[in-house]
Chain A
Amino acid sequence: MSETNDEPKNIEEAAIELVSNASVSADVQKSVLPASAIIAGTTPERVDSQPENVDQEMRRLSRRSFMWAGVTLATGFGAWKWINARPQIDGIGAPFRRVMEFNEKLTRSYFSPARLAATFPVSLAREPVLTGEFGMIDAASDPRDWSLTVEGVQGKDEPISLTMADIKALPPFEMVTEHKCVEGWSRVVHWTGVRFADFAAKYPPAAVKGAPPGYVGMATADEAYYVGLDMASAMHPQTLLCYEMNGEPLTAQHGAPLRLAIPLKYGIKCIKWIGTIRYADTKPADYWAERGYDWYAGF
């Protein structure tokens, strides 16, 4: 893979190359070469004008080009210094946070609820990797004592409290989708639960300032972990409040008695052991978004 011609070449070839490179910059054309330099055996129009002193001209071109290279290098270095010196916004440099928000805006403007996450045969379902310690019921608490608090429900001034029987009264829904972690791994999982859209139809959000709220926040029963969702993603037909995984009731480690499965988002949004659901008109707090990750985290 020689990068170039490093030995003398045939004049005919050279002439052709010169012609093929006819648009020599104005700087070179200014220094018109003397008649004696016209390469013999070629018609004048096939020969490019050459400067009187090639080495001198190359030095001039080099000075100019390397000066540009220097300026570019310095600009790049300055930009890198600048970017690293920006203050942090929720655990990540401000420019990165701004770009995440820009990317989110683009994704949300392109979003369509008709686009579904890929589904798989049940036979491919496996247990998702256990990461983190949030949303695992501690030994002392009994799932039978569990209740779900819902804040901001239409026609209710106070938060309402629901039982598992209330959840299971909604139409059940199953799906086999890929659970994708922000770390990189993915697992096909068989989820059973109720669609959040059905839940929200039964317990609709109260209008905030005359409009339906754009967000929903969820928190574990101990409030140690919390996620925020845009309403469009929450209302997607594949967003489930789950009580079964791979055909079995959820174990404590996988978020019993009720967890979120949202294949539209990274696993960090699939909150376990949900204790509270809050309708909101501003972006709800999100545990990992406060620690340097993208708030939207959506595919």
Chain B
Amino acid sequence: MIDSSVENSQQKKITMKVLVRKHPLAIRWFHWINFPVLMTMIWSGMLIYWANDVYHIGRFKLFPESVYTRFHIASRLSEGIGWHFLFMWFFAINGILYVLYTAISGEWRYLLPGKASIKEAFQVVLHDLHLSKNHPPRRKFNGAQQIAYTSIVVMGAGSLLTGLAIYKSVQFGWITALVGGYETARFIHFWLTIGYCAFFLIHVGQVVKTGWNNFRAMITGYEIVDVGEAGS
């Protein structure tokens, strides 16, 4: 919709709404397929982890018995394995197609961090924490997003590799050796999962904070952008 200010083309200020294509259809599908698939992998991973829950943060055991009771996690190892080794296929295929798509379509240009990304990411964090008034540069994805969205892909690759290192530690023994052995593979595999949970919380928080127009773009592909401040 064009604001009335547009009617007078002589006017210095023009404000208008434009539809901007933001997320390609393929990426929207990859994103929304990945969500329940990764959830299923994390959930079935919990059912597996219960059987030998060895990891701690300091003196705190992950997870307390009450968590297992509350979410009915106990004694469901075979069920967890069943889901995990079915959904691993969806997770791997969807992830590989996503990486191929971003590589071939050129979409990687928006996603890959550049030289300025780290500095920019600090600006974004300071801005988001209300410690700085400097608004981060306006691009499709800012430095913090580029780092986060690229990291999550690297983490996904890490989960696949460490997963394979655990699952087929003899036939793919070279991968097991590469990631530092069976126990290390298991350790990394577990902590990457905790990483996804942390990413998820921050990601959802940011999406809620940014608002509906942005969220809707991940469904429709388009965002409504106000264009202004231009002279004729």
Contact = CB atoms under 8 A, between A and B. Distances in A.
Contacts of A146: none
Contacts of B79: 92, 292
A142 interface: no
Interface residues of B, number: 79
Nearest to A180: B182
B148 interface: yes
A30 interface: no
Contacts of B21: 21, 23-25, 48
Nearest to A181: B52
B83 interface: yes
B133 interface: no
Contacts of A36: 2, 6, 9
Interface stretch (B63-71, B93-101, B223-231): B223-231
Contacts of B77: 182-183
A184 B226 CA distance: 54
B82 A92 contact: yes
Given A264-B170, A292-B78, A299-B167, A54 B214 contact: no
B49 A11 contact: no
Interface string B177-207: 1000111001000000000000000100011
A12 B230 CA distance: 8
Contacts of A92: 78-79, 82
A40 B230 contact: yes
Contacts of A65: 219-221
B171 A112 contact: yes
B221 A1 contact: no
A270 B83 CA distance: 25
A41 B82 CA distance: 60
A4 B210 contact: yes
Given A96-B83, A103-B85, A14 B220 contact: no
Interface stretch (A115-123, A153-161, A207-215, A273-281): A115-123
B217 to A, nearest CB: 7
Contacts of B216: 58, 62
A182 B49 CA distance: 11
A54 B176 contact: no
B222 interface: yes
A11 B82 contact: no
A44 to B, nearest CB: 15
A291 interface: yes
Contacts of A21: 20-22
Given A1-B124, A8-B15, A54-B19, A93 B82 contact: yes
A206 interface: no
Given A37-B2, A50-B18, A14 B225 contact: yes
A134 B82 CA distance: 24
A45 interface: no
A291 B14 CA distance: 70
B62 interface: no
Given A11-B228, A62-B219, A110-B171, A1 B54 contact: no
B171 A118 contact: no
Contacts of B49: 184
A41 B230 contact: yes
A10 B226 CA distance: 10
A11 B36 contact: no
A185 B148 contact: no
B72 interface: no
B161 interface: no
Contact of B51 (A12, A61, A184): A184
11 contacts: A9-B225, A14-B227, A21-B22, A25-B21, A39-B227, A54-B1, A57-B19, A58-B216, A62-B219, A91-B78, A111-B171
Interface of A: 1-14, 17-18, 21, 23-25, 28, 36-37, 39-41, 48, 50-51, 53-55, 57-58, 61-62, 64-66, 69, 72, 76, 91-93, 95-97, 99-100, 103, 107, 110-112, 115-118, 178, 180-186, 263-264, 291-294, 298-299
Given A185-B52, A299-B167, 11 more contacts: A1-B124, A1-B125, A1-B142, A48-B18, A58-B19, A58-B222, A62-B220, A65-B220, A180-B169, A184-B51, A184-B186
